[in-house]
Amino acid sequence: MKSSGSVMMQGSSNDVTLPLRATITGWKLVGNHVKAEYVIEVEKLLEKKVSHKIQRRYAEFSSLSKTLEKFGISLGLPPKKVFGNLKEEFIDKRKAALQKFLDVICSHVLFYAGHAVTEFLRLYYPIELKEWTLLSVRSHPEWFVHQYRPYCGWRAEKQYFEVTSGKATFVLSSIRYGPDRCATMDQLNSALDFIRNINNPHLKECVSSWADNNGIVLVRPVSSCGTLRDRLYKSDWRGDFYAKYNVELSACSLQLTDVRFICRHVLEALLVLCALSIPFLDVHSGNVLVTDEGCELIDFDQVLAGQPNIHRPSMLKNAAVNSIEDMMVFSFGEFLFELLTGFFSLPMEALNDEIDLVPDQFRPLLKSIFLSENRKLPTLLEVASSDLFVDIPVARMNRREVRIPSHVKTTLDALCSQILERFQTDRNKLNIMRKEQKMQKFIFSESERQRRKQIIKKEQMSQSKGNKVGETQGASLIDSATTSPVTEQVSNSEMVQ
């Protein structure tokens, strides 16, 4: 019998970034209590057979709203009402308002893939992440768990801990396997060993990492100033994600020279990862460190877990994204837009208007990525060689080449193929869904309803005229039959002869 480390294991089928729909289908009074519970159907739009129902009271909606409002975004939760809150008319009005609230929290991955919404909608995971991580760390006695930091990140399926080794403090993160995981535990550990020893000046490798049956665990040093996003918001990395990155806070603005400097170093890191077939796509300011020597990418090791990236919902809407390098370029474009505007992501519904917000010199590059006329994105090398970044110095690796063991190369290539194949499948599903929605919108539009009314009216008028003509012809036939019986008898006698 093969050991668990050598058995090929597929990742979880649950993609937390897939678009969700939560629909209030009804409500009911709970026993003798003066409370109403709303019945909610939760479904993943690209997986029509995946749905479940939950029941929630207004107090639970309110608790969720208080958690998410730390982000500084109005969610439109209807106000509390003490008296008359069980009248059917009031409950129906509140039901409509709560539906709008659900539509808002299901509109962006930062909400619906987070801890609070995941718990509210009961998007449960097959393993208890905290318990699994603590058990996994016990197998590595060199690390001592100091503090649990459950809410400092946006992913519900990723956990953070402060750990110590001697007098030094480190950040330990654990992430469960996702839908793109396609390697054995032994293969993943070999790939992690390789990644830890790349030694590139723009990549901050982990000091320790391992894979077990449930996911991947990474340990890296604590940066005194946190990530680039922590610097911009002047926040402590240990804080609650929504509170420390509140969009209403006055974040530090970067000089355009600083933006070019940071982006060029990130591009250098992406070029190395792309050359090594490491499909790191979570490029954002929360995964960038700024040091005295330059900028470094972190957490690129977690790609081996097969979890989808934060930009995937937007990527699915872009027909020009057709390769892993395209995805990396797209993610870099989102990162550049974040540095220039402070927005966590670029709204896909109004691209021209949003790109017009950035300084003139950056618009051509962003348009070539997000508004490609020939459905072809620039390569990473073309972006790095553009006028924006060509004059920015970067640190080079001490060695001229990196040798990849054949079994590690096989693992990384399989991961890239899995990510791309599932991406193309989901994009096809999304295109079909959008066509169906467009058709339904057209069918139920006011202009189409009026057009069909006119067609029906014309058909009724035509049938009415036809009936009148038929009645007239029938009357003439009856008259002729009653007025000339002799002719009919003669005709019949001729037929007999």
**What are the angstrom distances between the C-alpha of 250 and each of 232, 234, 253?**
9, 9, 9
Strands 295-297 and 158-165: unpaired
Surface-to-core class of residue 243, CB atoms within 10 Å of its CB (0-12 exposed, 13-18 middle, 19+ buried)? middle
Q: Under CATH, domain 129-436 is a member of which superfamily? A: Transferase(Phosphotransferase) domain 1 (1.10.510.10)
C-alpha–C-alpha distance, residues 463 and 211, integer Å:
74
Backbone phi and psi for residue 304, each to the nearest 5 degrees, phi listed first: -65, -20
Can you give the pTM of this predicted structure? 0.85
- In sequence order, the 6+-apart residues with CB closer than 8 A to the CB of 375 are 319, 320
pLDDT of the residue at 474: 55
pLDDT beneath 70, residues of the chain: 1-13, 31-34, 82-85, 125-127, 398-399, 440, 442-444, 448, 466-497
Compute CA 194 distance to the chain's CA centroid, rounded to the nearest angstrom: 29
The one-letter amino acid code at 56 reads R
- Residue 168 to residue 223: CA distance in whole angstroms: 12
CATH topology of domain 20-120: PX Domain (3.30.1520)
Length of the chain: 497
Q: Matching CATH topology for 20-120 and 129-436? A: no
Closest CA to 102 of 40, 16, 18: 40
Distance CA 181, CA 176 (A): 10
Q: What is the pLDDT at residue 490?
A: 36
Q: How far apart are CA 164 and CA 145, in angstroms?
A: 7
How much is the pLDDT for 489? 41
pLDDT the model gives residue 448: 65
Query: What is the tens place of the pLDDT at every residue in 258-274?
Result: 999 999 999 999 999 99
**pLDDT at 123 (0 to 100):** 85
447 by Cβ neighbours in 10 Å (0-12 / 13-18 / 19+) ranks as exposed
Residue 162 in contact with residue 238, Cβ under 8 Å? yes
Task: State CA 62 to chain mean position distance.
Answer: 25
pLDDT of residue 477: 45
- The pLDDT of residue 350 is 81
Q: What pLDDT is stored for residue 51 in this prediction? A: 86
| DSSP per residue, 256-307 | HHHHHHHHHHHHHHHHHHHHTT------SGGGEEE-SS-EEE--GGGGGGTP
Q: How far apart are the first and last CA of the chain?
A: 99
Report the distance separating Cα 277 and Cα 275, nearest Å.
Answer: 6
447-485 per-position pLDDT tens digit: 767 777 777 877 777 777 766 655 555 555 445 544 444
Domain boundaries, the chain: 20-120, 129-436
